[in-house]
Amino acid sequence: MVTNSQIAQMLSQTADLLEIKGENPFKVRAYRNAARIVENSSKDFNKLVKEGFDLTRLSGIGKDLSANIKEIVTTGKFSKLEELKKEVPQGLVDMLSIEGLGPKRIKQIYEAFHITSLDELKKYAENGELEKLSGFGAKLIEKILKGVKQLKKAGIRFLWAEVEKIAEDLKNYLLKFPGVEIVEIAGSYRRKKESVGDLDILVVAKDYPKVSEYFIKYPKVKEIHSAGLTRSTVFLENDLQVDLRAVSKDSYGAALHYFTGSKAHNIEIRKLAIEKGMKVNEYGVYKDNKKIAGASEEEVYKAVGLCFIEPELRENRGEIQACLENKLPNLVKLEEIKGDLNISSELIDEAIKKGYKYIGVRNSLIKRDDIKIFSVLEQNIKAINPQKNYDFLVGIVDKDASNEMVLEAIKKVDFLRFFRDIKNNIEPQIDYDLIFKEMAKNNVKLEVISRPNNLIRDTLIKKAIETGVKISIVSNANKKEELGFIKYGINQARRGWAESKDVINTQNLT
Ligand code: DGT
Ligand code: CA
Ligand code: CA
């Protein structure tokens, strides 16, 4: 179903692209008007079209626009817009979201310099060429540069696992500098979020400016954005942004708490503090203008009447209430994993070396004397065909699965795995509330794949557990190195509030 505001957005984007192309201003205005009419209407256009209402009866909507809206409602797409997107370079479309740049100015820039990318735009803003255009003052140029930076940043998120090595290397590099006492990576990285936007590093050191000088010399730094007295920002080779901040030792806990986030968690903590007549910021907790805590996170939480909350839980998903009710989960740990229930048959010896008590081997009936092996059969739920002799049947739910297909499969399988591609934002569109209920009823377990780009959402793990579904955290390894993936599955399970008792492969299975 398409909402009014989605229809309006397509029409307004059409107007923008037509304007960049320099098409007839009347046509441009007609699309823009129509967008406004749809957006502000109290009637649901989806319904109007389905009821066969004659849209041309509305003022501002002619025959063409009426046909356009019908197309959008019935197909969910607008072919004219699709065509325009092919004609107008993506870089110019991106420029539309920069504050201060509308279609008129973008057209002006394009006609003057024939540039079509954000990188070129940045170059022309920096070398003074852009300022030569009429209407482009210093203030606007500054806005454009800021916008380019924000856009580039918003577009790139890294998988947690992709930044892990460089983050730990950089931390060790900083720790080597004389006078550096503490280095900690805060932000989403510390919360073990599946993807991170940038790294936020805190440092306690005697002479911060010297540390900053050393920081910007880190061999993988590509670009120095700023290097100030308490804060420095660089971009690494892979375009990852890293912020380094100086923190004093007596505020370290408050700063670590503040910069670990999430923002939503911090806001709740501050509200709670205010209710108690206190103030919390990145320097400490204050009561009657007197600092009462700040050196450690434990101290900060205690001062506002809370227990320590693990970084993975700090998403404002009920963790503060849970603490107050003494119901915080005792999160599962990597060391508690007793076996990996989904590996390739070539990795049996490697798995034994890891000290596992049992393993699950994919699509093979191998048995051995030195380790308990479960044989695991994987099948797409579209074509379930149970085989004799296998211990476990794993049903794979791919991106176009329907509720009916999943519910049917639940009757036949032992585990379900839900496909997800984080980078490309692909996952099945199904009713998880309903599905988890059925899984719990039929004792079907959730297989949590630990591949960094295929992790199921943390919120779904939480929901599954709350519904009574047990989970199995597996590497799905094909190669030796991939056995280690299991730690990413653990990270995600912890963010989904999983305790050891919720995870079947922390138990003794026989
Ligand atoms: P990211 O980098 O997009 O993966 O996510 P974070 O959570 O690392 O966010 P980031 O880097 O923008 O900021 C780091 C932390 O700093 C964030 O988790 C909480 C704190 N913080 C940043 N901006 C604000 C703010 O406006 N208010 C509050 N309360 N905290 C903030
Ligand atoms: Ca961050
Ligand atoms: Ca940041």
The backbone torsions φ and ψ at residue 121, rounded to the nearest 5 degrees and listed phi first, read -60, -45
- Rounded to the nearest angstrom, the distance between the alpha carbon of 266 and the centre of ligand 1 is 9
Residue 234: predicted pLDDT: 96
Angle of helix 252-260 relative to helix 263-275, nearest 10 degrees? 130
pLDDT tens digits, residue range 168-220? 999 999 999 999 999 999 999 999 999 999 999 999 999 999 999 999 999 99
Confidence of residue 341 (pLDDT cuts 50, 70, 90): very high
pLDDT of 510 > 90? The answer is: no
State which ligand 1 atom lies nearest to the alpha carbon of 196: 4
CA-nearest residue for atom 16, ligand 1, is: 259
If you classify domain 158-247 with CATH, what class do you get?
Answer: alpha beta
- Rounded to the nearest angstrom, the distance between the alpha carbon of 94 and the centre of ligand 2 is 23
Residue 387: predicted pLDDT: 92
Residues of the chain with CATH 1.10.150.110: 4-153
Confidence of residue 149 (pLDDT cuts 50, 70, 90): confident
Residues of the chain with CATH 3.30.210.10: 250-324
Does this model's pTM top 0.95? My answer is no
State which ligand 1 atom lies nearest to the alpha carbon of 258: 20
CA-nearest residue for atom 31, ligand 1, is: 263
- Rounded to the nearest angstrom, the distance between the alpha carbon of 383 and the centre of ligand 1 is 45
**Residue 473 β-bridge partners:** 448
CA-nearest residue for atom 17, ligand 1, is: 261
The backbone torsions φ and ψ at residue 70, rounded to the nearest 5 degrees and listed phi first, read -60, -45
Q: What percent of the chain has pLDDT over 90?
A: 91
Residue 3: predicted pLDDT: 87
CA-nearest residue for atom 22, ligand 1, is: 263
Q: Which of 377, 378, 381, 380 is nearest to 391 (CA)?
A: 377
The backbone torsions φ and ψ at residue 194, rounded to the nearest 5 degrees and listed phi first, read -55, -30
Residues with CB under 6 A from ligand 1: 187-188, 193, 196-198, 200, 258-259, 261-263, 266-267
Helices (H) and strands (E) in the chain, counts: 21, 17
pLDDT tens digits, residue range 101-120? 999 999 999 999 999 999 99
- Rounded to the nearest angstrom, the distance between the alpha carbon of 122 and the centre of ligand 3 is 22
Least confident of 162-166, 287-291, 423-427, 472-476: 423-427
CA-nearest residue for atom 9, ligand 1, is: 187
Cβ neighbors of 500 (< 8 A, separation 6 or more) are: 330, 332, 333, 336, 506
Between CA 452 and CA 162 the distance in angstroms is: 8
Minimum-distance ligand to the CA of 261? 1
If you classify domain 250-324 with CATH, what class do you get?
Answer: alpha beta
CA-nearest residue for atom 2, ligand 1, is: 197
Residue 151: predicted pLDDT: 83
Confidence of residue 484 (pLDDT cuts 50, 70, 90): very high
C-beta neighbour count of 137 within 10 angstroms: 9
The backbone torsions φ and ψ at residue 245, rounded to the nearest 5 degrees and listed phi first, read -130, 140
Mean pLDDT of 145-174: 91
Between CA 143 and CA 181 the distance in angstroms is: 38
**What superfamily would CATH give domain 4-153?**
DNA polymerase beta, N-terminal domain-like (1.10.150.110)
Rounded to whole angstroms, what are the CA distances from 506 to 69, 194, 365, 509?
Answer: 55, 22, 23, 9
Query: Token pair for residue 255?
Result: 């700063």
Minimum-distance ligand to the CA of 280? 1
**What superfamily would CATH give domain 334-506?**
Metal-dependent hydrolases (3.20.20.140)
Residue 394: predicted pLDDT: 98
The most distant pair of C-alpha atoms in the chain lies apart, rounded to whole Å, by 81
Q: Give the DSSP letter string of 368-413.
A: -SSSEEEEEEEEEGGG----TT-SEEEEEE-TT--HHHHHHHHTT-
Residue 2: predicted pLDDT: 82
Residue 152: predicted pLDDT: 76
Residue 412: predicted pLDDT: 96
CA-nearest residue for atom 10, ligand 1, is: 187
- Rounded to the nearest angstrom, the distance between the alpha carbon of 182 and the centre of ligand 2 is 19
Residue from 200, 247, 268 to probe ligand 1 pocket by mutation (most atoms less than 8 Å from CB)? 200
Residue 63: predicted pLDDT: 94
| Integer-rounded Cα radius of gyration of the chain | 28
Q: Are 80 and 42 in contact (CB under 8 A)?
A: no
Q: Which of 259, 262, 248 is nearest to 295 (CA)?
A: 248
Q: Are 470 and 446 in contact (CB under 8 A)?
A: yes
Between CA 460 and CA 321 the distance in angstroms is: 20
State which ligand 1 atom lies nearest to the alpha carbon of 189: 8
Residue 97: predicted pLDDT: 87
Residue 432: predicted pLDDT: 96
Minimum-distance ligand to the CA of 153? 1
pLDDT tens digits, residue range 89-106? 988 988 988 999 999 999
pLDDT of 235 > 90? The answer is: yes
Q: Are 474 and 486 in contact (CB under 8 A)?
A: yes
- Rounded to the nearest angstrom, the distance between the alpha carbon of 262 and the centre of ligand 1 is 6
Residues of the chain with CATH 3.30.460.10: 158-247
Q: What percent of the chain has pLDDT over 70?
A: 100
pLDDT tens digits, residue range 49-80? 999 999 999 988 999 999 999 999 999 889 99
